[in-house]
Amino acid sequence: MKRAYNFNAGPSALPLEVLEKAQAELIDFKGSGMSVMELSHRSKEYDAVHQEAKALLCELLNIPENYDVLFLQGGASLQFSMVPMNFLAEGQIANYVLTGSWSEKALKEAKKVGQTHIAASTKESNYRSIPNFDEIQLSENAAYLHITSNNTIFGTQWQDFPSFENVDLIADMSSDILSRPIDIEKFALIYAGAQKNLGPSGVTAVILRKDLLERIPENLPTMLNYKTHADSNSLYNTPPTFSIYMLSLVLNWVKEIGGVNEVQKRNEQKASILYNVIDESNGFYNAHALPGSRSFMNVTFTLPNEELTKEFLAGAKEAGFVGLNGHRSVGGCRASIYNAVPLEACEALRDYMISFKEKH
Ligand code: PMP
């Protein structure tokens, strides 16, 4: 068996150990005589999985007691709507920092709910950077400030997070949650689709400060109200049981390899291998993101022209690399190097990049 060098942007690589564990438990989960997929979501076997996933996320991310963890469906995209529906009250203004396509999409949904304001944007430079904190201009009556911590498509990432007195920070962390330690208390709410660092698609993790639940209007559709899910431990309706099971395995894996600090160390090493090739290529490879804003999760780069890009990608495919095509809005190439992408895959890509450059 040969595993692909998987650089997909999401769904993306999962740790081999996790897949093997799921395989071993697939047909008979802990003596139940059935797979996790076949368990009732009200069974004690499933409940243990659900609680473990939640407890491990709290442990690994150091989530304080006054926060709740929810497992929802609808992807990060549904959070684009749920956040303003729950927290943008009449007379308030939702503030957004635009750092890429996903922030634009989040803003678009907020506009359908109420008043919005663009607090900062790097669109003019085709989202090559994250704004400086002093460029963020909040509106009056700000309901919250929304940011995208890692911009999957453009390959930029917030290295640190701003704090504003009396304005809650909300972050879409879909593509970098669990990749580094974060100070949860800087945020009122964090959401992330699982399919990059947390597991397979199908579940969205939401971490929110409990006092926010008091602000939610009562007339929201039940399923779109965070309180519904907080009050029922994310078991109001049938949760995506298999995705949550896979999440628990991924979290166990992170814990076993040394937690989020170790993961961060590995990610920095992986990313620097690729950025070094780019920086030492005398302009043959060009990083889309400016230094200081570069993502440790999605390394975006271009080649001198379209023809070389095509040849690079064709050769990469032949050499067993998957998912290196850049998103159409940036062009070029993108290597997504989430937690589960091993160092060896990055080293192999580095070697391929060097030899491709030498040949041309
Ligand atoms: N936000 C970010 C930063 C993303 O990368 C993605 C998906 N690639 C989304 C939101 C949308 O997530 P979903 O497909 O789970 O709705």
Query: pLDDT for 221-257, tens place per residue?
Result: 999 999 999 999 999 999 999 999 999 999 999 999 9
CATH architecture under which domain 259-359 falls: Alpha-Beta Complex (3.90)
DSSP H helical ranges for the chain: 16-25, 44-60, 75-87, 101-113, 226-231, 241-256, 259-279, 306-318, 343-359
Question: Mean pLDDT throughout 146-171?
Answer: 97
Beta-strand pair 169-172/189-193: parallel
pLDDT, tens digit, 9 for 90 and up, residues 97-134? 999 999 999 999 999 999 999 999 999 999 999 999 99
pLDDT for 58 equals: 98
Which residue out of 72, 79, 102 has the highest number of ligand 1 atoms within 8 Å of its CB and is therefore the one to mutate? 102
Mean per-residue pLDDT, 51-76:
98
Give the contacts of 63 (CB within 8 A, at least 6 positions apart): 57, 69, 184, 207
Instruction: Calculate the alpha carbon distances from 333 to 213, 274, 288, 344 in Å.
Output: 42, 12, 10, 19
Centroid of ligand 1 to alpha carbon of 75 (angstroms): 7
Instruction: Provide CB contacts within 8 A for 80, sequence distance 6+.
Output: 105, 106, 108, 109, 110, 172
Is there an atom of ligand 1 within 6 Å of 76 CB? yes
Decide: pTM greater than 0.90: yes
**Ligand 1 pocket, residue 75 CB under 6 Å:** yes
In the chain, residues under CATH classification 3.40.640.10 are: 17-256
The stretch 33-40 carries a mean pLDDT of: 98
What class is the 17-256 domain?
alpha beta
What is residue 143's three-state secondary structure?
strand
34 C-alpha to ligand 1 centroid (Å): 32
Closest approach atom of ligand 1 to CA 10:
8
pLDDT at position 22 is 98
Numbered ranges of CATH 3.90.1150.10 in the chain:
259-359
Segment (H or E) for 123: none
Confidence (pLDDT) at 329 = 86
- The average confidence (pLDDT) of the chain is 97
* Position 2 confidence tier, pLDDT thresholds 50, 70, 90: confident
**CA 147 to each of CA 97, 172, 285: distance values in angstroms, whole numbers, following the listed order:** 5, 6, 29
Residue 1 has pLDDT above 80, yes or no: no
